[in-house]
Amino acid sequence: MSRAAVQIVPAGTLVWGMQLPVAAQSVNFAAPWEAAAGPAELLRVAQACDRNGFFYLAVSDHVAVPRASAATMSTTWYDCVATLGYLAAATARVRLLSYVWVAPYRHPLVTAKAFATLDALSGGRVILGTGAGHLEAEFETLGVPFRGRGRRLDEAIDAIVAAWAEEYPSHRGEHWAFAELGQRPRPLQRPRPPIWVGGSTPAALRRAAERGDGWLPQGPPAMGMKEAIALVREHRARVRGDAPIEIGMNAPWFYVGKPSFDLGPNSRSGSGDELAAVLRDIKGLGVQHCGVRFRSRSCDELLEQIEAFAREVAPLVN
């Protein structure tokens, strides 16, 4: 695997993006209005983020949710690559992030081909966010062992990097081997699209440090963000020397202004400066990219919140 890190966040800044509504509807985060929404609302939100300077749009990845998990997760999980491809044609600047793609489910050449094509079609806007996955029944259904998924992910990342480096890559590992097989279209980004590694366990933090261009937390790490960031950076220095890594974090749910309804847990509301202060504190931890989401009761209200954030909060962050 190439040891060169790919950096895309402007130096010294904090950028932000949003996990899209509608495309994933777990009861843990979906607003009630999303149940009746569809592609039209998804497109409106994506274009609002594109117009208002968001750095990325994110879509999750589940193939089939077990019935036992559906009561909380739901079964609404739009296909990640198809959805990002649909949005790529309707946006111009915002980057397209998988948050996160479960690479152990697929042969690495399948992943490499899908995201290289998306990168070519979008004008070089892809970020491959990838993680080990957590639904054991989903692994079993797809014929992939749940145990050892971390090793599969490690190897998949190495193989994807190889496939993006050369038209005819060569790889031989524990789970996959290939040579003399070419792939086009090539990714537009050079030397390749960035890979941000997701997860909040100690193993995931080490994986991000060893193989990632960035880190995507999956919820707050048990050790706390400050300690987790220190672990990532210390391990990075041990295994990659001075190669940079772009650290991520998720902000609390925001509501710009004074809400007239209960925002629920882990939420912050207030003036532009009050919410910008939250993001400045996050930046002060050494974070480069931050996920933001907004409490809303309708698609129209969400669009108003995105615009208010861009107008009142964003100019005060950096």
Catalytic residue of the set 107, 134, 136, 307: 136
Instruction: Note if 107 is an active site residue.
Output: no
Write the CB contacts of 270 (distance below 8 Å, at least 6 apart in sequence).
256, 257, 258
Query: Do 210 and 238 meet the contact criterion of CB atoms below 8 Å apart?
Result: no
Distance CA(47)–CA(45), nearest Å, equals: 5
> Going along 21-79, which residue ranges are E strands?
56-59
Q: How far is 79 from 59, CA to CA, in rounded Å?
A: 8
3 state DSSP class of 233: helix
Question: Alpha-carbon distance 267 to 254, whole Å?
Answer: 6
Count of alpha carbons within 13 Å of 192, Cβ hemisphere only?
Answer: 26
Catalytic residue of the set 41, 62, 155, 289: 62
Instruction: Please report which helix (H) or strand (E) contains residue 242, including its range.
Output: none
Contacts of 4 (CB under 8 A, 6+ apart): 191, 243
Give the Cα separation of 290 and 50 in Å (integer).
16
Q: Which residues pair with 254 in a beta bridge?
A: 268, 294
175 is catalytic: no
- Which positions are catalytic? 62, 136
